[in-house]
Amino acid sequence: YRIGDYGRAEASARQAEAAAATARAPLSPLLPLSIGVASAIIIGAILYILRRRTKRPEKPEGVSLEEFLERRTDLRFEDREVLRFLAESGGEAFASEIRERFNMPRTSAWRLIRRLRKEGLVEVEEVGGQTLVRLRRRGRGG
């Protein structure tokens, strides 16, 4: 009691107590980043949903593969099966895949592919030392 000014100390304590009661915690530095990430996710989800709704099934150009094969009575059974396999494989496959799928020798596969190329039904391209066989959009005579 001899040294201090307790009245002033008590006033300072009350002032500090009032400031603490009205003070807010500082914002986290990660808050803007987390808001940005959350916004990006929400916007991405909305765009995905909108694109999915507005996407209409495309009408195929020309005729279906089955209709085409019905019209091409000159094609051999193996030729038709390879064309179906190519269509199921996204329109292209390596010659080795065709050989494996149909269990045929290399020479027979080569002749079949050459025949389909002559008919204008497939395109052949060398990719990395392998033969890539790709369906053409429109074959000759079809």
Domain that holds residue 84: 75-135
Q: What is the pLDDT of residue 9?
A: 80
Does 117 map to a domain?
yes
What's the CA gap between 133 and 142, in Å, rounded? 19
Q: What is the pLDDT of residue 141?
A: 45
For residues 104 and 9, which has the higher predicted lDDT (pLDDT)? 104
Alpha-helical regions (H) of 25-89: 31-54, 65-71, 77-88
Does 122 map to a domain?
yes
Please check the confidence at residue 7 and state whether its pLDDT lies above 90.
no
Q: What is the pLDDT of residue 31?
A: 83
What's the CA gap between 9 and 70, in Å, rounded? 102
pLDDT in tens, 104-120: 999 999 999 999 999 88
> What CATH number should be reported for the domain holding residue 106?
1.10.10.10
What's the CA gap between 81 and 69, in Å, rounded? 10
Does 94 map to a domain?
yes
Average pLDDT over residues 137-142: 53
What is the chain's alpha carbon radius of gyration, rounded to the nearest angstrom?
Answer: 37
Does 23 map to a domain?
no
- Enter the tokens of residue 128: 């990395």
Give the type of residue at 55.
Answer: K
